[in-house]
């Protein structure tokens, strides 16, 4: 998010705001305020790796999760980054409908990794 010459809102704050977090809650979470944000100088180039958007490496797999309206939704754990990226890209196209994860995996020939935290990745009622 652009604030003026040489200043930008950090990526983590921008993501929280895009995911529905309120401004005041976001500023408290990141221990900052608007004056500090406007006064800060940031590098000319901030690298954000879109390949990892909504994906995190955990143990021997890659989890997909997205925060929507202050709730975090889990979309499964996958063996490879490429598998997780393919599923994530399909989820973006269908507006993150959790009840479609199994259909997407079947269509792509991808299997979610079961684990001891399997319940964390169960479908959330729509």
pLDDT tens string for the chain (126 positions)? 444 444 467 778 888 888 888 888 988 998 888 887 777 655 444 445 677 888 888 888 898 988 877 788 889 899 999 999 999 999 988 888 888 888 999 999 998 887 554 444 444 444
DSSP state of 112: B
CB 126 within 8 Å of CB 100 = no
Q: What are the CA-CA distances from residue 49 to residues 19, 46, 56, 88 (Å)?
A: 18, 10, 12, 14
Backbone phi, psi, residue 28, to 5°: -65, -45
Q: Write down the pLDDT at residue 48.
A: 55
């Amino acid at each position: 998010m652009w604030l003026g010459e040489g200043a930008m809102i950090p990526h983590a704050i921008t993501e929280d705001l895009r995911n529905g977090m309120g401004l005041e809650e976001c500023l408290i979470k990141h221990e900052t305020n608007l004056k500090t944000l406007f006064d800060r100088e940031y590098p000319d180039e901030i690298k954000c790796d879109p390949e990892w958007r909504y994906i995190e490496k955990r143990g021997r797999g890659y989890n997909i999760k997205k925060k929507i309206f202050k709730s975090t939704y889990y979309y499964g754990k996958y063996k490879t980054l490429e598998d997780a990226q393919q599923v994530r890209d399909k989820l973006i196209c269908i507006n993150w409908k959790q009840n479609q994860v199994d259909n997407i995996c079947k269509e792509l020939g991808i299997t979610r990794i079961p684990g001891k935290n399997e319940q964390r990745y169960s479908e959330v009622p729509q």
